[in-house]
């Protein structure tokens, strides 16, 4: 889960991908092929921001493209995030990718530069910046 701990963010309303569950608030979202927000994966090239709403298959609008709130971080924004693998203080300043769920930083993923580690909390929790997301707030 990604939780904002520093900086400013915009709340933007994005159409969600139909029939996609977001199991917890704090999941990273990426645009799908049609521009709708879907769960970010380990290989997503662009990140919209952090979901502010969970989506369950039992929701009345599950199969539609209704809009959901997305926290789009500005460039000074930092998040606290869970980590899989073993985070070390030596990783501060390095780029890391995500797990397939979009909810956890993968300390072993050095291929996909989706977050920048900015602080060490524990071997399983970090401070980070979400790469690319703030470009959406700048209109890119």
Dihedral sign, CA of 42, 45, 49, 54?
A: negative
- What mean pLDDT comes out for the span 84-89? 97
| pLDDT bucket at 75, cuts 50 / 70 / 90 | confident
Q: What single-letter DSSP state applies at residue 91?
A: G
| 140 pLDDT above the threshold of 80 | no
Q: What is the pTM of this model?
A: 0.87
Query: Going by C-beta distance under 8 Å and a sequence separation of 6 or more, which residues neighbour residue 75?
Result: 129, 134
Region label for 49, one of left (φ > 0), alpha (ψ between -120 and 50) or beta (otherwise):
left
């Amino acid at each position: 889960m990604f939780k904002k701990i520093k900086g400013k963010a915009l709340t933007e309303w994005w159409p969600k991908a139909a029939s996609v569950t977001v199991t917890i608030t704090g999941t990273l979202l990426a645009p799908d092929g049609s521009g709708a927000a879907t769960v970010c994966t380990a290989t997503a090239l662009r990140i919209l921001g952090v979901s502010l709403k969970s989506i369950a298959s039992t929701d009345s609008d599950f199969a539609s493209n209704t809009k959901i709130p997305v926290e789009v971080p500005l460039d000074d924004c930092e998040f606290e995030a869970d980590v899989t693998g073993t985070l070390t203080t030596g990783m501060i300043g390095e780029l890391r990718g995500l797990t397939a769920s979009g909810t956890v930083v993968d300390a072993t993923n050095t291929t996909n530069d989706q977050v920048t580690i900015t602080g060490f909390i524990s071997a399983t929790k970090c401070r980070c910046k979400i790469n690319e997301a703030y470009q959406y707030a700048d209109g890119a």
